[in-house]
Amino acid sequence: MGILSLLLWTPATGVLLLAFTPGQKTTLIRTIGNLFTTLAFLLSCWLLHLYNQNSPELQFSEYFPLNPNLGSAYALGVDGVSMPMLILATLLTSIALIASYKLPKSVKGYHLCILLLEFGMLGVFLAQDWALFYIAWELTLIPLFFLIGRWGGQRRHAASLNFVLYTMSGSVFMLISLLAVSQYDLEHVGSLMTTLHQAAKDMPRYEQILVLLGFLIGFGVKMPIFPLHGWLPLAHVEAPSPVSILLSGILLKMGAYGLIRAVNMLPEAAHSLQPLLVFLALFGMIYGALLAWRQTDLKAMIAYSSLSHMGIILLGIATLNEIGLTGAVLQMTAHGFISGTLFLLIGLLYERTKTRHIGDYSALIQLMPRFSVFISLALFAAMGLPGTIGFIAELHALMGGFQQWGGLMVFFSITVLISAAYSIRTISLLLTGTIKPNMQHLVDLNARETIAAGLLVSGIIGLGFMPSPLIELSAATITQMINQISQRLL
């Protein structure tokens, strides 16, 4: 078994082991869950150590034919775009389980769903076959439906159903696009992913555009991009905070990752749809930032800010140039760290106070100094303050957009200003003022919570001051993608 299969099937092994563990043994269940998520994270770190960042080709490839007539196969591989997502997925899953140690009910079912969700997420980022990719993509819906619907808030049933219906509807368009490409004579050389890339070259321009629109809807629902974001606020608000960490930190990136692959497969169509893509990106950025600014519920604010940050990723993809695509990949990683930190901290605060209304808090810096430092740094990163990974990512996306569209990037600047407004307002209302009588009992983060938040904040600050390792990790793959796109557009 190769290292990629070992990584992929680690959480699945945990699911199998938990299935035979008695439900009343909660301590053993938590231990098994944390053991396998930690093991998956360590394996991803080992993979990162072995990965050759100077090579743009797929590495550690595994290939076993499944259906020779269709050309589908159990094909795994990793490159500079998927590698950071693997690290982020395994890290955030470990932190989500650490943040779930106070879960009061159905501990076994919860840990089963988390490990199954990690298995699906890893499958999406490792798959080098569109059939395998689609199966892993759909697999993530099952545990998420139960995680939101069983352990969520008061409107959890509506939130889980809304999420699944939106995502399944988008998946239909994705499937139609895949079937449209497969109608061409496929020379089965390598995996179905490679075969479809070759078939796309022979498609007429209008068919390529229709296919890419199908992918845009399918992946755009998951990102999400405006106006396909209807499921986002309700799902984030009602989901348990550890699930929100995964939903915002990783699940949204699956859509961006898929869109990058689709654009690389259909560059002529992407070039034709550039005006639409940049409009959706800039409008979504401003729209999400304005809605975040209007929120009084802290989780709803973070949810709408995610819509704005996904617009930055879409902008980077739409540039079809190297610096813009680099910005998109950096923003995928940056938003994972930032939103993961914010949802973690707000969830821990909610456990102590049972309220998310921003007006119910004040002077937390006197009561919870460690919490205050962490959330301040995360909010500074969300607004793109220099010295954080948020600044590095947004700078690359802005430079790529300016290189392509020039003065149109003034709308990007407006988004940054609005983000700064609601971030500074949140810091001011949460941390300053006088201590409210009903908040005097608050205690600061304990050792376990400090370690979890500290890991994420260390990534935000460390990659902000030393972004070169992250940039170089994806550089060779992105350069190869842009060269392929340029050759197809000649």
Amino acid at 439: M
Model pLDDT, residue 55: 86
Q: What is the predicted pLDDT for the residue at 186?
A: 56
DSSP structure class, residue 59: E
419 alpha-carbon distance from chain centroid: 19
pLDDT value at residue 460:
94
pLDDT band at 49 (very low <50, low <70, confident <90, very high): very high
Residue closest to 327 by CA, chosen among 219, 216, 471: 471
Read off the pLDDT of residues 213-244 as tens digits, 9 standing for 90 and up.
999 998 988 888 888 887 888 888 888 888 98
Instruction: Tell me what pLDDT residue 82 has.
Output: 92
pLDDT in tens, 366-404: 889 999 999 999 999 998 889 999 999 999 999 999 988
pLDDT the model gives residue 63: 85
Give the whole-angstrom CA distance, residue 374 versus residue 427: 11
- Tell me the C-alpha to C-alpha distance, in Å, between residue 98 and each of 38, 251, 377, 453: 10, 19, 21, 10
Exposed / middle / buried, residue 216 (Cβ in 10 Å: 0-12, 13-18, 19+): buried
CA distance linking residue 315 with residue 412, whole number of Å: 10
pLDDT recorded at residue 86: 94
State residue 69's pLDDT score.
Answer: 66
State the pTM of this model: 0.92
Return the residue matching tokens 């409009």.
Answer: 279
In angstroms, rounded to a whole number, what is the distance separating the alpha carbons of residues 372 and 360? 16
CA distances from 255 to 7, 46, 84, 162, 216 (A): 21, 26, 15, 17, 9
Q: How confident is the model at residue 2 (pLDDT cuts 50, 70, 90)?
A: confident
Please, is 438 exposed, middle or buried when counting C-beta atoms within 10 Å of its C-beta (0-12, 13-18, 19+)? Answer: exposed
What pLDDT is attached to residue 71? 64
- Burial readout 138-157 (b: 16 or more C-beta within 10 A, e: otherwise): ebbbebbbbbbbbbbeeebe
Confidence band of 155 (pLDDT split at 50, 70, 90) = confident
The yes-or-no verdict on residue 136 having pLDDT over 80 is yes
For residue 140, the Cα-to-chain-centroid distance in whole angstroms is: 13
The pLDDT value recorded for residue 453 is 92
Nearest CA among 130, 96, 123 for reference residue 110: 96
Backbone angles phi, psi at 21, to 5 degrees: -95, 130
312-364, pLDDT tens digit by residue? 999 999 998 999 999 999 999 999 999 999 999 998 998 888 888 888 888 88
Residue whose tokens read 């005006």: 275
State the pLDDT confidence band at 195, using cuts at 50, 70 and 90. low
Per-residue pLDDT for 481 more than 60? yes
Higher pLDDT, 164 or 337: 337
pLDDT of residue 191 exceeding 70? no
Distance CA 191, CA 389 (A): 35
**Banded model confidence at residue 46, pLDDT cuts 50, 70, 90:** very high
CA torsion angle for 240, 243, 245, 247 (degrees, to 10)?
-120
pLDDT of residue 14: 93
The DSSP symbol for 165 reads: H
Residue ranges of domains in the chain: 273-490
Tens digit of pLDDT for each residue in 8-45? 999 999 999 999 888 888 889 999 999 999 999 999 99
Express each pLDDT in 395-430 by its tens digit. 999 999 998 888 888 888 898 899 999 899 999 998
Using DSSP, state whether 295 is helix, strand or coil: coil
Q: What is the pLDDT of residue 67?
A: 72
